[in-house]
A and B are shown apart, each in its own frame.
Chain A
Amino acid sequence: MKLLGEDIVTETGEFIINMGPQHPSTHGVLHLKIWLDGETIKKIEPHLGYIHRSIEKMSEKMSYRQFIYLTSRMDYLSAHMNNQACALVVEKALQVEVPERAKAIRILLAELSRIGSHLLWFASVGLDLGGVTPFFYAFREREAINSLMEENCGARLTQNFHVPGGILEDVNPDFQKRVKEVIKQLKDNFHEYDEILTGNVIFQNRLKGVGYLSKEDAISLGCSGPTARASGVVCDIRKSNPYDGYEKLEFDEVVLTGGDSWARYQVRMAEMLQSIKIIEQMIDNMPEGDIVAKTKNVIKLPKGEFYQRVETARGELGVYIVSEGAATPYRCKYRSPNFANLSAIPIAAKGGKIGDLIAIMATVDLIIPDIDR
C-alpha cells in the first residue's frame, strides 16, 4: 500500500508510525518512531530535541542567584524540588548552614509538590487509558495544593521559592492551618481514587503484566524514582543521601518487585500516602527563627566541582557544577530523571500492543521538557 508516494510497509513487513511530536498521549513533544507488526510493537526509537532550550548553556551566563530559577522549566511539576537541588549545591559549595525553619518549609513544600505531581500523574493515567472521570477527581485536590502554593509562593506551578541559603520569604501566618486543610481533603477523598480507578477490572487488566522492566535493566539504564522502585531498585535519595533534614523524618521507601505498569502505579499511589505522613510529622513542630542564612550579595563559588542530588517526583535529579571561582558557573550539567527513564520505554514496550505503549508511557510518567532541557 502506498501513502504519500511511499510504501508504508517495510521489506520485512513492518508498518512504521511516528507517534508524536504532536500526539495526545506523549504529553508533550516527544517523538517515538514505532515499527509495528499488526498491532504488536517490534521496535521503538525515541527522537528528541523538539523542546531543547539549552538550559545548561544559559546557566553558564547567569549568577548563582539566578540560575536556580531556570530549572523550574525542566520538570515543571517538580519545580520546587529542582530549585532545591540548585540551592543545595550552592550551599554545599559555600558551606552555608541553612536555618532549621527554612529547611522545614522546603521539605513541606517539596512533599506537597510531590503529591501534586503524583496527582497529575494519576489524572493522566486515567485519561490515557480512556477513563476521563478520574482526571477531575485528581484535579480537585491538585487545585487545593496549587492554591496553597499561590498563597505562599505567589506562583502556582513554578514556585521559585528558593534562594541560596534558605527560602525567599516566610510563609503566611495561616500556613499550618491551610496545609492541614489540604491534607485532610486529600485523605478524605483518597478512597475515591481507589474506587474509580484502582479497583476497576479493566484498568487492572490494562496494567498488570504490561511493560515489564527487570531490576537489572532498570539499574543498567539508570532509571530512578518510582519507575525504578517498582522494579525492586532501592534508590530513594531522601533515604540514601538525606538532605535538608530528611534524615530526621520517619517514612518508608516504597519498593515493589513487580516491575510492570501495575507496580509502578502502586508505588506512586503509596508514595502519596508517605508524603502525607512526612507532612503530618512536620506541620505541628515547625521551628521558629530565620528563613535565610547570610550570604554575600555576589556569590562566588570556590574553584572546584560540586554535585548535589535530590529526589524529585520522578526520580534522581543531579546538579553538577564546575566552578572556576567566578560569579557564574564554568559548566553546569543536570542529570535529569526523565531522560534516563525514557530509555526504559523501548525495552518495556517491546512486544506489546499500541495500547500497552500508552499504558507504559503513562506509568513511567515522563515530563518531556525535562528530557531535552
Chain B
Amino acid sequence: MKILLAYSLSGFASYLHRLLSGFIPDAFWLMVTEMVITGVCLLVFLILLAFFLGYMERKVAAFMEIRFGPNRVGPKGTLQIVADTVKLLFKEGLTPDLSDKFLFNLAPGIIVISAMLAVAPIAFAKGFQIWDINIGVLYISSVSSIAVIGILMAGWSSSNKYSIIGAMRAGAQIVSYELSVGLSLISIVVLSGSLSLNDIVESQANGWWILKGHIPVLISFVIFVVASTAEINRAPFDLVEADQELTGGFNTEYGGMKFAMFLMSEYINLFVVSAVAATLFLGGWMPFHIGNFTAFNHIMDYIPSSIWFFGKTLFIIFIIMQFRWTFPRLRIDQLLNLEWKYLLPISMINVLLVTLMAIMGWHF
C-alpha cells in the first residue's frame, strides 16, 4: 500500500541523479544534462499525447456524426494519425515567394514552444512534476499568451489577405479572453492562498474546490472552460482559422511540417488548459476525498494519482471536443460581446464573491 500511495517517479529520478553525478562531477553540467533528458522525455510525451488527442478527436467527431472514423490503418485505426504525420513530414516545406521568410518560418516554432513551456509546472501525479515553481499559475498564464505573437507573426508574414484578417481577429480574441481566464484563475488562487500548483492541489486534500467552493467556484469553472476554449482558438471560437470564412485564416499558407506544428500546438494547448482546469478546480492528482470520511478517503487513495489526473483532464478534453462538434461558430462581434458584456463583468463580481468567501471562511 505504501508503494501504491507513493506512486511516483521520484525514486527513479533520485536514482538517475546519483548515477549521473558519478559521471559528471560538475554541478552545473549535471543540471544541464538532467534538463536535456527531461526535455527529450517531455517532447516524446507531448508528441504521443498529440497523436492520442488527434485520434480521440476523430473518434469523438465520428461517433457524434453517425460514422466510424478512422478504422483502416492499424488496429481500430490507431495508426491513422501516425500515417498522416508521416505524410506531412514528407511534404515539401513550402515558403511563399512574397512572404517575410524569416518570420514565416519562425512563427510555428514560437507557437509550439509557447505551448510546450506551459506544460512544465503541471503536476502529473503525486510527486511527479517537472518544475515545482512557486508562481506556477502566473507562469502558465503568461507563457501561454506568447502564442498570440506567433499567430500574428504567421498571419502577417504570409502575404495573404485572409491570413491578415485571421491574425487581426486573433489579436482581438485572445487578448480579450485572457482577462476572463486570469480572473477565474485568481478565484482559486484567492481560496488556496498560493500560486504554486502543488500547494493548490494539496489544499484540495479534503475535497475539490469545485465541491467546496459553492456556486461562485462553479461559475468560475464554467467561465474558465469557455474562455480558455476561446483562448486556444477551438470551435465554436475558431474565428482565427474559420475555414468557411477565411479559408484557414492565419495558417492558410502553411503546409507540411510547419502546418503539423500548428496542429500539434493546438492539441498541446488543449491538454494544458484541461490540465490546469483539472488541477485548479477538480483537484489535479488528488483523489476524491470527502472531509473526514477517512475510510472512504483511504479506498480512494488506492487509485493511483496519475489515473486521477489524466482521468479528470481527459474528461474536460472530452467536453471541449463536444463543443467543437455541436456548436456553429460565433461571429466576431458576438464573440467580443460575449467576453466584454457577459464573461468579464460576471467574473469580476465572482472574484469579489470568492474573496469574501475566503475572508469569512464560508467554504468547506
- A133: CB under 8 A from chain B? yes
Docked CA distance A129–B328 (Å):
5
- A130: CB under 8 A from chain B? yes
For B325, give the chain A residue with the smallest CB separation: A133
Across-interface contacts of A205 in B (CB, < 8 A)? 330-331, 334
The reply to whether B243 and A24 form a contact with Cβ atoms under 8 Å apart is: yes
Across-interface contacts of A358 in B (CB, < 8 A)? 244-245
The reply to whether A23 and B328 form a contact with Cβ atoms under 8 Å apart is: no
User: Which of B64, B236, B332 sits near A202, CB closer than 8 Å?
Assistant: B236
- A325: CB under 8 A from chain B? no
The reply to whether B244 and A131 form a contact with Cβ atoms under 8 Å apart is: no
The reply to whether A355 and B332 form a contact with Cβ atoms under 8 Å apart is: yes
Across-interface contacts of B327 in A (CB, < 8 A)? 130-131, 200, 202
Q: Chain A CB within 10 Å — which of B326, B328, B333 has the most?
A: B328
- Of B4-12, B44-52, B135-143, B159-167, which binds chain A? B159-167
- B125: CB under 8 A from chain A? no
Across-interface contacts of B244 in A (CB, < 8 A)? 24-25, 127-130, 358
Across-interface contacts of A132 in B (CB, < 8 A)? 61, 65, 325
The reply to whether A17 and B66 form a contact with Cβ atoms under 8 Å apart is: no
1/0 per residue, CB under 8 A from A, across B321-345: the answer is 0000111111111100000000000
- B178: CB under 8 A from chain A? no
User: Which of B61, B161, B235 sits near A17, CB closer than 8 Å?
Assistant: B161
For B160, give the chain A residue with the smallest CB separation: A3
- B38: CB under 8 A from chain A? no
1/0 per residue, CB under 8 A from B, across A23-66: the answer is 11100000000000001000000000000000000000000000
- B238: CB under 8 A from chain A? yes
Q: How far is the CB of B52 from chain A (nearest CB, A)?
A: 21
- B247: CB under 8 A from chain A? yes
The reply to whether B165 and A4 form a contact with Cβ atoms under 8 Å apart is: no
The reply to whether A200 and B328 form a contact with Cβ atoms under 8 Å apart is: yes
Interface residues of A in 117-132 (CB under 8 A from B): 126-132
The reply to whether A355 and B329 form a contact with Cβ atoms under 8 Å apart is: yes
The reply to whether A130 and B329 form a contact with Cβ atoms under 8 Å apart is: yes
Q: How far is the CB of A206 from chain B (nearest CB, A)?
A: 6
Q: How far is the CB of A172 from chain B (nearest CB, A)?
A: 28
- B18: CB under 8 A from chain A? no
Known contacts A130-B244, A137-B65, A203-B328; 8 additional CB pairs below 8 A are A4-B98, A8-B161, A39-B332, A126-B328, A129-B329, A133-B61, A205-B330, A355-B239
- What are 24 A-B contacts with C-beta separation under 8 Å? A4-B98, A8-B161, A23-B247, A24-B243, A24-B244, A39-B332, A39-B333, A128-B244, A129-B328, A130-B235, A130-B243, A130-B329, A131-B325, A131-B329, A132-B65, A133-B65, A196-B326, A202-B334, A205-B331, A206-B334, A353-B332, A354-B165, A355-B245, A355-B329
